[in-house]
Homo-oligomer: A and B are copies of this chain.
């Protein structure tokens, strides 16, 4: 709460300085705050205020603010900016961030920008832009300190001193004459080594690296597993191309979790970048249409039984309960399964055991819920057969739903489809018709046999 009040006050103060045009006071204010905070405050400002604010920042701070801003705010700010200013800002950014920025521009604009910056920057940026954004190449920083094994600690420290702020410095890398990765020296080891020791003497030769085309999720898994601060990225013949730092890995982990959560709901994290309502609808509607097609199955099942089940009026009023309980049980099983797959805590050899566990848990819960519902149905209709049908169908239906929800992600995983899809509308729709079929079949059989 106090945080919120502070933010509000600071934003109000900033807004006053911007609208009064007090250049000097604004500059003093901006000296006292961090670029990450400025990026956050953009959310609270009008378009015009954002423009004024960005114009008041030096190139480097403007670059840092743009990098931290949300995609839609960044896009709006860049559009209003002249090419010359944007080029200076891009030059002042770490090259991996500059490449991300350029990647978001229209082709014509990015070409104009690339022709406005130094030849060296252009060359590096063009090579970075070639890598897909969700690979090691797409998130790596190409600027690092790489030296031969013969370099001394003193020489290495000089190299670090002259390296720019945007250089990866969690470690220095040891390369041979063909720039192949040969070893790694963590900064801490470097600090505590003798000044005249060579890197070859203090380096760790057993280095874990990732190929430049590796998926970003794989990179994140390695950094997380081994608690690295940075991981080197290599191309063909083990040539050192860059390194992915842990702060980028944090973003990847959050991004992947978001992607999974959105998939569970039949949507896409990309919709957050969509500005217009029609764009958002475009991401969500396909799932709903698939679901709508699926519901025809439920409609057909109900239609088929409508004239065959005795007491349809009494039986049909419990269909929402049967469907809801099946849906929730299936969601519990699919969610557990999808998350365990994402976190890598489910070995392939345990797939069958896992599904059996899920189904057994669901059966236990189904018996409990079914018993409660039987009593409710009996009280509501005074017909013990309806109660029996509803209760037993709930127990069977919940177990079947759990079988579907628990095994579907594993099957998808085995055939190479993202298992997160299994918690979405697709499975819930199949589940509905399955639950209804079980319910009406059991009801019909019971009522015809005993009724």
Enumerate chain A interface residues (CB-CB to B < 8 A).
Answer: 4, 34, 36, 40, 43-44, 68, 70, 157, 160-161, 169-170, 187-188, 190-192, 223-227, 229, 246-247, 249-251, 253-254, 257-258, 260-262, 264-267, 269, 271-272, 277-278, 280-281, 284-285, 287-289, 291-292, 294-296, 298-299, 302-303, 306-307, 312-314, 316-321, 323-325, 327-329, 331-332, 334-336, 338-340, 343, 345, 347-349, 357, 360-361, 364-365, 368-369, 372-373, 376, 380, 423, 425, 428-429, 432-433, 436
Q: Are B306 and A320 in contact (CB under 8 A)?
A: no
Q: Are A280 and B361 in contact (CB under 8 A)?
A: yes
Contacts of A357 in B (CB 8 A): 277, 280
Q: Are A265 and B423 in contact (CB under 8 A)?
A: yes
Query: Within the assembled complex, what's the spacing in Å between the Cα atoms of A271 and B338?
Result: 14
Contacts of A265 in B (CB 8 A): 328, 331-332, 334-336, 423
Contacts of A264 in B (CB 8 A): 261, 264, 331, 335
Q: Are B299 and A318 in contact (CB under 8 A)?
A: yes
29 example contacts (A-B, Cβ-Cβ < 8 A) are as follows A44-B347, A157-B191, A160-B188, A187-B191, A224-B251, A224-B254, A246-B250, A253-B257, A261-B264, A261-B338, A262-B336, A265-B335, A265-B336, A266-B331, A267-B335, A287-B332, A288-B325, A288-B369, A289-B369, A289-B372, A292-B372, A294-B324, A295-B321, A306-B317, A307-B313, A324-B425, A324-B428, A324-B432, A328-B425
Contacts of A335 in B (CB 8 A): 261-262, 264-265, 267
Query: Within the assembled complex, what's the spacing in Å between the Cα atoms of A187 and B445?
Result: 75
- Taking A223-B250, A257-B257 as known contacts, 18 extra A-B pairs with beta carbons closer than 8 A to each other, sorted by chain A number, are A4-B348, A43-B345, A70-B345, A190-B191, A246-B247, A254-B343, A261-B261, A266-B331, A272-B340, A278-B364, A281-B365, A292-B325, A299-B321, A302-B319, A306-B314, A312-B313, A316-B319, A319-B320
Contacts of A339 in B (CB 8 A): 258, 261-262, 269
Q: Are B296 and A376 in contact (CB under 8 A)?
A: yes
Q: Are A327 and B325 in contact (CB under 8 A)?
A: no
Contacts of A320 in B (CB 8 A): 295, 298-299, 302, 319, 323, 432-433, 436
In the complex this chain forms, how many copies of it are found?
2
Given contacts A157-B192, A191-B157, A365-B284, contact A250 B247 (CB under 8 A): no
Q: Which 6 A-B pairs have the closest CB atoms?
A: A298-B320, A257-B257, A265-B335, A295-B321, A302-B317, A227-B247
Query: Within the assembled complex, what's the spacing in Å between the Cα atoms of A227 and B373?
Result: 53
Contacts of A332 in B (CB 8 A): 265-267, 284, 287-288
Of all chain B residues, the one with the shortest Cβ separation from A390 is: B299
